[in-house]
Amino acid sequence: MLTKIKKYRDNTWDFRDANTKQYTHCFHSYPAMMIPQVAGRILDEFGKNAKVLFDPYCGTGTSLVEANIRGINGIGTDINPLARLIAKVKTTVIPIKELDVYLKDFNDFLFSIKLGVKKVSPQIPNFKNIDYWFKKDTQLMLAIIKEYIDNIDDKNIQDFFKVAFSETVREVSLTRNSEFKLYRMSEKQIEKFNPDVISVMIRKLTRNRNGMADYISIKKNVSRTFIYGFNTVYEIPENILPFESIDIVITSPPYGDSRTTVAYGQFSRLSNQWLEFEETNEVDKRSMGGFKVKVSKSFGFKPLDHALEEIAMRDKKRVFDVISFYIDYEKSINNVSKVVKKGGIVAYVVGNRKVKGVQIPNDEITREFFERNGFKHIKTIIREIPNKRMPKKNSPTNISGLSDTTMNHEYIVILQKV
């Protein structure tokens, strides 16, 4: 008797030619974003009767937007204040007529400054290394825009402007924008780099305005989304998510500790500083694996334990980063499991990374951790990553010039609570 294959490659999930920037998905770049087509298809296949979706590492809210489009309520949490801001704005309907009034006023404000009719003396922030990352003229223009945003009287519209401002900050900074970590341009590049801050800001606002209009045209009005900042490693507050209250979980969790995989905190730092978020320097420290243990550990799962043994043989210190991450990852899955209803669905979109040249099977680890919490595995779909913004190569030995592939495929791990 043949058993049904539960883990397989399916190129229909690659979505190579799909527009991943429809609706409010266009609002802001962010590292390692799950593409909306994946979240949408999971919902269409496994969430037809779902009323509430939970994303425990929601990032900028891809799954939440897709849920709202289908009339499903969304709950998301993320430790990065910038991600929470973007997710909130992407899922909050702002009537276009109201938005256009503020956009016109902003354009009039900028025009009056260009003509010298309006005089401003903005307060340039005094955060560490501002002169290292921004030219003086850029600082002045950003400060002018920030002062205008701070005086917007409607909170939802103010946040809408902040999202466009955040992406403007990164684009006009002296960072290499092709990188997700903070790397400064070369001196030659800096000499030639004179960004038009106003044009960049207006371009972002216009794009986002059109994305909002498209979102409003398709969103089911009954759906709502709530964004929180609690860390699922430590707790999921019962007053927010009671025991067995969630129909479906769709998420793309971190694939490893921020320091060595995707440094969300570094990517967001300049925006967080300009927006005056207090947790600016804490994002990577508070992420999974941010607090490093210094003792060996067995997880009782051979594929993971074997990978840890191999890494330890190659680097006795590096293995503790990996152990720390999976301690937190298991805690988070334990907590997430509690809020899923019996019969509820969990879909984790993960990548199988390499550390010191050793492949770590995140899909199998995710499956194992959920099965320990009373879930049964439905299937794992393997898709190629054609355009996800994350490192495809890293340095396994920290020797300059020597690199290795990290993640070229994603694994969509789907389980159901028994």
Locate 375 and state its tokens.
């879930």
Exposed/middle/buried for residue 410 (C-beta within 10 Å: 0-12, 13-18, 19+): buried
Q: What is the pTM of this model?
A: 0.92
Which alpha helices (DSSP H) does 77-154 contain, by range?
81-90, 96-114, 130-133, 136-150
Q: pLDDT tens for the chain, 418 residues: list them.
A: 444 679 999 999 999 999 999 999 999 988 888 999 999 999 999 999 999 999 999 999 999 999 999 999 999 999 999 999 999 999 999 999 999 999 999 999 998 888 777 778 888 998 889 999 999 999 999 999 999 999 999 999 999 999 999 999 999 999 987 766 788 999 999 999 999 999 999 999 999 999 999 999 999 888 999 999 999 999 999 999 999 999 999 999 988 765 666 667 788 889 999 999 876 566 777 788 888 888 899 999 999 999 999 999 999 999 999 999 999 999 999 999 999 999 999 999 999 999 999 999 999 999 999 999 999 999 999 999 876 554 444 444 444 444 445 468 999 999 999 9
Task: Give the Cα separation of 52 and 74 in Å (integer).
Answer: 6
- Clarify whether residues 241 and 213 are in a common domain: no
The last residue of a domain, from among 187, 217, 247: 217
**Do residues 39 and 153 both lie within one domain?**
no
76/122 Cα distance (integer angstroms):
35
Q: Does residue 296 sit in the same domain as residue 197?
A: no
Residues 238 and 213 in one domain: no
Place of tokens 């939802």: 156
56 and 112 assigned to the same domain: no
Q: How far is 362 from 350, CA to CA, in rounded Å?
A: 6
Q: Do 213 and 232 belong to one domain?
A: no
Using the 8-state DSSP alphabet, how is residue 356 labeled?
T
* b/e map 169-182, b = 16+ CB within 10 Å: bbbbbbbeeeebeb
Q: How far apart (Å, rounded) are the C-alpha atoms in residues 267 and 274?
A: 13
The CATH number covering residue 333 comes to 3.40.50.150
What residues make up the domain containing 124?
A: 96-217
Q: Report whether 65 contacts 36 (CB < 8 A).
A: yes
Q: Residue 372 — φ and ψ, nearest 5°?
A: -65, -20
Cα end-to-end distance, the chain, whole Å: 25
Residue 268 domain-assigned (yes or no) = no
Q: In terms of domains, do 211 and 342 share one?
A: no
For residues 208 and 232, membership in a common domain is answered with no
Quick check: helix, strand or coil at residue 345? Answer: strand
Angle between helices 81-90 and 264-274 (to 10 degrees): 80
* Dist CA 227 CA 155 (whole Å): 15
Question: What are the angstrom distances between the C-alpha of 40 and each of 65, 101, 227, 325?
Answer: 9, 33, 19, 28
List all residues 6 or more positions away from 4 whose beta carbon is below 8 Å from its beta carbon.
Answer: none
Number of H helices, E strands in the chain: 14, 12
Domain count, the chain: 2
Do 132 and 242 sit in the same domain of this protein?
Answer: no
Q: pLDDT at position 389, please?
A: 52
Residues 6+ apart with CB under 8 A from 190: 135, 174, 184
Domain-located, residue 272: no
Residues 295 and 387 in one domain: yes
φ, ψ dihedrals at 348, nearest 5°:
-110, 125
Residue 349 lies in a domain: yes
At residue 119, the pLDDT reads: 77
Amino acid at 281: N
Per-residue DSSP letter, 175 = B
**Domain shared by 243 and 378, yes or no:** yes
Tell me the two tokens of residue 220: 């089911």
3-state class percentages of the chain: helix first, strand second, coil last, to nearest 5: 45, 15, 40
Compute the distance between CA of residue 129 and CA of residue 111 in angstroms, rounded to an integer: 31
Determine the pLDDT at residue 341: 98
- By the 8 A CB rule, do 162 and 178 touch? no
| Per-residue model confidence (pLDDT) at position 116 | 75
106: left (phi over 0), alpha (psi -120 to 50) or beta: alpha
| In a domain? residue 362 | yes
The pLDDT value recorded for residue 263 is: 67
Question: Would 162 be classed as within a structural domain?
Answer: yes
Domain-embedded: residue 398: yes
Domain co-membership, 63 together with 212: no
